[in-house]
Structure 1
Amino acid sequence: MSAYGACVYIVSRSADKANAQLLCSKSRVAPLKTLSIPKLELCGALLLANLLSKLQKMDIFSGPYFCWCDSTVVLAWLNSESSRFTTFVANRVASIQRLSAGMEWLHIPTALNPADIISRGALPMELNASDLWFHGPLFLLLPRSSWPPSPAQEQCILELRKATCLVLTSPIDLTSNCKSPTLTVSDLQNGTRLLVRVVQRATMWADLKAIQANHVLKSSNCLSSLSPFVDDFGLLRVGGRLSNSSLPFDSRHPMILPRKHPVTSAIIKHFHKESLHAGPRTVLARIRLHYWPIGGEEQSLL
């Protein structure tokens, strides 16, 4: 389609005769930017709405105004809220709905649509001999009951605006609710657990949900060999036979840290410095009394 257009016909009726005549038409060259056929059809519908709106304001003709389009997609757009669609479609649908307020939009088969002559083009001799162009489709002279039936309207899914899903959850208090002027050991421990929980939820959310639902992790999952579980605080910890030992809870079930995360790197640096830059195995042993960094043996500082 290299062009689009619209044409307007006036139908006059007397006691024994009806006549339809081309009143005016307008065409536009399709933009250089490639547009889909439905979008070009929508531009044609806007052109028609502008023409009819101007004629209506002239207050010369009495009677109803009918708008015809052979695109079921365009008709579905016009029967919907303009805000549902992307900017290009939404702006034109809103304009058409405003300009053609009080007018009825109907479907016309493509073979009977004289506006298609504009988009296809025609030689002067062909146009001069075209009754369809000068007098419109024959059904305009017939009672409305004989007009072409309009297809059932379906909800259009083309050019829908992308929806954003917003999920509201109860806020998580990431503070330690410290009321004293100084930090205590308990405050630091709670703050550290909160930080690790946030990191785990950001990086291992799927694993957390699977473990909470008692799903078996795939053997290829790096956590599967750790027998992980989620504690009462919502932290992902290492399970296994150490639960039967007399070690402190954090040493029996260290908190799992994601691979190469900034928080993981900061914790490794802390223990590396605290151990006076000891060897990799010594540092890793100290870390695993509290944390279990995934791939800890491969960390650059170790």
Structure 2
Amino acid sequence: MQDIWLSGVDWDENVREAEKLNFEKWFEELKHLDKIKISRCLKNENNETRMKSMSIHTFVDASSIAYGAVTYLRCEYEKEDVTVRFVAAKGRVAPIESTSIPRLELLAETLGLKLTSRICKTLEIEIKQVTLWSDSMNGIYWIRNNSRQFKTFVANRIGEIHRVTNPSQWRYVPTNENPADYVSRGLPVNSLAVANNWWEGPSFLKESENEWPKSKIVVGNDGKFEMRNTAQTHLRTFLVSQEEWILSPKRYSNWTKLVRIRAWVIRFLENCKMKKEDRVRGQLNVVEIEESKNEMIKETQRRYFVEEYDKLSKNQKVGISSKLIKLNPRLDTEWVMRSDTRLKYSEFLPYDTKYPVYYPERVQLQS
């Protein structure tokens, strides 16, 4: 459905041949759903009186297509008997707007946390009996650090994770042992029916905790790029206070060019603070470009909508005399001021269409 929306086809038009084939394949697989059998008995009733411990294990994963989580109940009985039962899973398609894989992995981690919290409440299990697994070293690195040192998108979600769980509850699992990989990449029904590591969890869960995966967390460049730094703060000051500085928008007629030049400057300033082996190289990535764009939008909004932006940043409503009040302005997770109207109830509109960004009348952005 997402692919069809992106193709621009109208409701009364035929879909493209490739999308038609995908739909036909999906309908054909529905015929095999009767092969899926799910046991709803989570505990071995015969052995319940001699149960030693019970714990929840949630695995998360993400790809450019989708992200999701799957949860298991692990029961350990006397005589070293262990059972692992599938409890629930949840998946979502990746956002239409460009998002880096590390950020998608973080979305999967927050989704897994919400799924786990609901299961714990239903089964009356304490959250401290939970272990959450991810194959994203960047994600676990962020979780094991203070949320305040990261940029807004990461900081907000890490803060949410820290409010519910302890960082020590998050562990690394190799990708080839992560059952949530099926959620993020998909699996045919016939294969899913016989996928034991999906229905019973990875084999190591039936072993003692000493046999569980251990790995030193090594963060990549994408993880380090999400760190807050003084370089951006200094650059922001230059752009706001010195109108004739070389990166002033007045000097450029092309929006895309200005965004990319600014992104290169930010990278240079950040690299100057890093060790040589840690410096970011190669072409600009999606995160760098989006960050550059958002920073310029925020600077423009702070300059032309001073009172409104100041109130929203303090979690206050804009004044009734503001010309923006009818558009119900709000700040998103990146602190960009957007309109929050009834468009948000449309499921298939892109994010930027549902929540339009405010620009002053005199500012014209050219692609």
Q: Does the residue aligned with 1:25 lie in a helix, a strand or coil?
A: strand
Quote the Cα distance in structure 2 between the aligned partners of 1:99 and 1:10. Answer: 19
Write out per-residue CA displacement over residues 67-100 of structure 1, whole angstroms, 9 at most, x where no aligned residue. Answer: 1000000000001111111111111111111122
Matched, 1:115 2:167: no
| Aligned 8 A contact 1:46 1:96 in 2 | yes
Corresponding residue for residue 224 of structure 2: 157
Quote the Cα distance in structure 1 between the aligned partners of 2:154 and 2:233. Answer: 25
Quote the Cα distance in structure 1 between the aligned partners of 2:166 and 2:121. Answer: 12
> What is the aligned counterpart of 1:29 among 86, 89, 93?
93
Quote the Cα distance in structure 2 between the aligned partners of 1:136 and 1:19. Answer: 10
Quote the Cα distance in structure 2 between the aligned partners of 1:19 and 1:157. Answer: 39
Structure 1 residue 151: deviation in Å? 1.6
Q: TM-score scaled to structure 1, two decimals?
A: 0.51
Q: TM-score scaled to structure 2, two decimals?
A: 0.43
Q: Does the residue aligned with 2:106 lie in a helix, a strand or coil?
A: helix
Q: Aligned runs of 1:1-302 on 2, under 5 Å?
A: 1-16=64-79, 17-58=81-122, 60-61=124-125, 64-101=129-166, 104-152=169-217, 156-163=223-230
Structure 1 residue 10: deviation in Å? 0.4
Quote the Cα distance in structure 1 between the aligned partners of 2:181 and 2:123. Answer: 28
As a proportion of its length, which structure holds more helix? 2
| Aligned 8 A contact 1:52 1:100 in 2 | no
Q: Percent identity?
A: 33
Q: Does the residue aligned with 2:160 lie in a helix, a strand or coil?
A: helix
Write out per-residue CA displacement over residues 234-278 of structure 1, whole angstroms, 9 at most, x where no aligned residue. Answer: xxxxxxxxxxxxxxxxxxxxxxxxxxxxxxxxxxxxxxxxxxxxx
Quote the Cα distance in structure 2 between the aligned partners of 1:74 and 1:127. Answer: 27
Write out per-residue CA displacement over residues 189-238 of structure 1, whole angstroms, 9 at most, x where no aligned residue. Answer: xxxxxxxxxxxxxxxxxxxxxxxxxxxxxxxxxxxxxxxxxxxxxxxxxx
Q: Does the residue aligned with 2:119 lie in a helix, a strand or coil?
A: helix
Residues 12 and 84 of structure 1: CA distance in aligned 2, closer, same or farther (over 3 Å): same
Q: Does the residue aligned with 2:97 lie in a helix, a strand or coil?
A: coil
Structure 2 unpaired stretches of 5+: 1-63, 235-367
Structure 1 residue 147: deviation in Å? 0.6
Quote the Cα distance in structure 1 between the aligned partners of 2:108 and 2:190. Answer: 25
Q: Does the residue aligned with 1:80 lie in a helix, a strand or coil?
A: coil
Residues 40 and 14 of structure 1: CA distance in aligned 2, closer, same or farther (over 3 Å): same
Give me the CA root mean square deviation.
2.3
Structure 1 unpaired stretches of 5+: 168-302
| Aligned 8 A contact 1:50 1:99 in 2 | no
Higher relative contact order (CA 8 A, sep 6+): 2
Rg larger in structure: 1
- The number of residue pairs the alignment matches comes to 167
Residues 10 and 106 of structure 1: CA distance in aligned 2, closer, same or farther (over 3 Å): same
Residues 44 and 159 of structure 1: CA distance in aligned 2, closer, same or farther (over 3 Å): same
Write out per-residue CA displacement over residues 126-176 of structure 1, whole angstroms, 9 at most, x where no aligned residue. Answer: 111100110110000111110111224559513112326999xxxxxxxxx
